[in-house]
Amino acid sequence: MITAVRKPMEEIIACVEPYDRILLVGCNECVSVCSAGGRKEVALLASALHMHFMKQGKTMDIREITLERQCDPEYVEELVTSVDGSDAILSMACGCGVQTIAARYREKPVFPAVNTTFMGASERQGVWSERCQGCGDCVLGITGGICPIARCSKRLMNGPCGGSTKGKCEIDANVDCAWQLIWDRLKALGLERRIEDIMEAKDWRTSRDGGPRKIIREDLAS
């Protein structure tokens, strides 16, 4: 999923302060699962903002809506009536959701209330870790199901580097060495020799380096 964390209150307040009527929009997908911008977080942020502005002697009209999926124009269309009655939109979705709103409601300023962080998986209750960088050319099949691009601090394709110590990365003893994990997994699979296969220089065009990416499915596109 796409993970996010809420921005600091001061930053959010600074964005919405000039306005009187705010439309606060959550998303029921990824940010809801990682407890950053779902219905519950929308309610919490709304009360925190109310309290802040009340102390300032200002009444802020905050309308709360949580869409099924904010990165989908079909659902974003549901905001049509509420947008009219507000001066600005505060979105708790990931950057994709914020941009879908901005593209649809051109005359209203839209502010992100969360920082979109990474594509990750849940390790345990309350802990999410980066797992994928969407490079567009998946190598998990040859690295034992562990991604060196997302999980090696130097995104080495032929690791481990000389800084791997007791299974941990040189940058932080709390970070696993991805290449230690890859090695352990290849061993478990009886594929030790595969570690000597050279992974050739990557073609980063399928990643962000080729410019903004797009998928067009002719069979589905209308």
Partner 1 sequence: MKTESRLEKVLASGALAVTSECGPPRGAVPEKVKEKAELLRGSVDVINVTDNQTAMVRMSSWAAGILIRQLGLDPVLQMVTRDRNRLAMQADIIGAYSHGINTMLCLSGDHPHFGDHPMASNVYDLDSVQLIQAVVKMRDEGKFQGGKDIDHPPKMFVGAAANPFADPFELRVMRLAKKVKAGVDFIQTQCIYNLDKFETWMKGVCDRGLHEQVYILAGITPMKTAGMARYMKNRVPGMDVPDEVVKRMESVPKEQQPEEGIKIAVETIQRLKEVKGVAGFHIMAIEWEEKVPEIVEKAGLLPRPEV
CB of 203 to partner 1, least distance (A): 10
Of 155, 176, 185, 206, which one interacts with partner 1 (CB under 8 A)?
155
HEC per residue, 14-38: HHHCCCCEEEEEEECCHHHHCCCCC
Question: Which residue in the set 32, 66, 86, 164 belongs to the binding site for partner 1 (CB under 8 A)?
Answer: 164
Neighbours of 111 (CB within 10 A): 18
Here's the x/- map for partner 1, 45-84, by CB under 8 A: it reads as ----------------------------------------
- Contact positions with partner 1 (CB under 8 A) in 173-212: 177, 180, 183, 195-196, 198-202, 204
For residue 37, how many other CB atoms are within 10 A of its CB?
32
Residue 171 lies near partner 1 (rule: CB under 8 A): yes
**Phi and psi angles of residue 129, each rounded to the nearest 5 degrees, phi first:** -130, 150
Burial class of residue 132, CB neighbours in 10 A (0-12, 13-18, 19+):
middle
Q: Scanning residues 134 to 153, which ones bind partner 1 (CB under 8 A)?
A: 153
CA distances from 86 to 13, 23, 32, 112 (A): 16, 6, 24, 16
Please name the residue that has the structure tokens 């919405």.
Answer: 16
**Shortest reach from residue 162's CB to partner 1, in Å:** 3
Distant-in-sequence, close-in-space partners of 9: CB < 8 Å, separation ≥ 6: 48, 52
Q: To 10 degrees, the CA torsion angle through 59, 42, 107, 78?
A: -120
Count the residues of the shown chain that bind partner 1, applying the rule CB under 8 A.
29
By CB under 8 A, the residues from 90 to 109 that bind partner 1 are none
- In whole angstroms, how close is the CB of 140 to partner 1 at the nearest point? 18
Which of 13/157 has CB closer to partner 1?
157
SS3 at position 192: helix
Among 158, 188, 205, 213, binds partner 1 (CB under 8 A): 158
Shortest Å, Cβ 3 to partner 1: 21
Least distance from C-beta 172 to partner 1, angstroms? 8
Judged by CB under 8 A, which of 18, 126, 162, 212 binds partner 1? 162
3-state SS, residue 85: coil
Binding site for partner 1 (CB under 8 A): 153-167, 170-172, 177, 180, 183, 195-196, 198-202, 204
